[in-house]
Amino acid sequence: MATASKHGLFVVEDAAQALGSKFKGKAAGTFGQAGAISFFPAKVLGCMGDGGGVITNDEHIFDRIYQLHDHGRDVDGEVRCWGRNSRLDNLQAAILNHGLKSSDKVVSRRRYIAALYQARLMIWMNCNYLRHLMQMLTISTFTKTTNCKEIAGMS
């Protein structure tokens, strides 16, 4: 963020799979001026089809995103710009609203299962400043003497 600030860059954080994650106590999606979250069904908080959201605490960005998602209309219904129909329907919103209520439990369960893998496979993945949601748990089988051909059985 220091580099972006130094050069006057606008930061939009890709937090598609990070809902519930934190880095040094700060929630994913909140580091830049805006963050993007995915509600694809395979994500921690998913709807029944494609969906997504934008996180921001900047009023200008909020107003612009709001307009763009609803045919260019502002909160009063006045058309301000070209936009598109990018609204969730009521069913998708209800599914997400229900899922949001249990998302902490889902993330806790993922962390619990990952801890079991960690304990039984002796995987090191703890870090004092990172709070992972365990969207995916990747287990590396590489050592200093292992290379890709050995793993593929080609050596």
Q: What is the pLDDT of residues 76-93, one digit of tens each?
A: 999 999 988 888 888 998
For 127-147, write each residue's pLDDT tens digit: 555 566 666 666 665 555 555
For 9-66, write each residue's pLDDT tens digit: 999 999 888 888 888 889 889 999 999 999 888 888 888 888 888 999 999 999 999 9
The Cα-based distances of 12 to 44, 52, 98, 105, 141 in angstroms read: 21, 14, 27, 28, 33
Q: What is the dihedral of CA 112, 113, 116, 122, to 10 degrees?
A: -110
Mean pLDDT, range 68-83, rounded to an integer? 91
pLDDT value, residue 72: 92
- Joined together, the tokens standing for residue 43 give 């994500």
CB 55 within 8 A of CB 16: no
3-state secondary structure of 148: helix
What is the rounded distance in angstroms from the CA atom of residue 135 to the CA atom of residue 108?
11
Residues in the chain: 155
pLDDT value, residue 152: 47
**Residue 150 pLDDT more than 70?**
no
CB 49 within 8 A of CB 58: no
CB 83 within 8 A of CB 73: yes
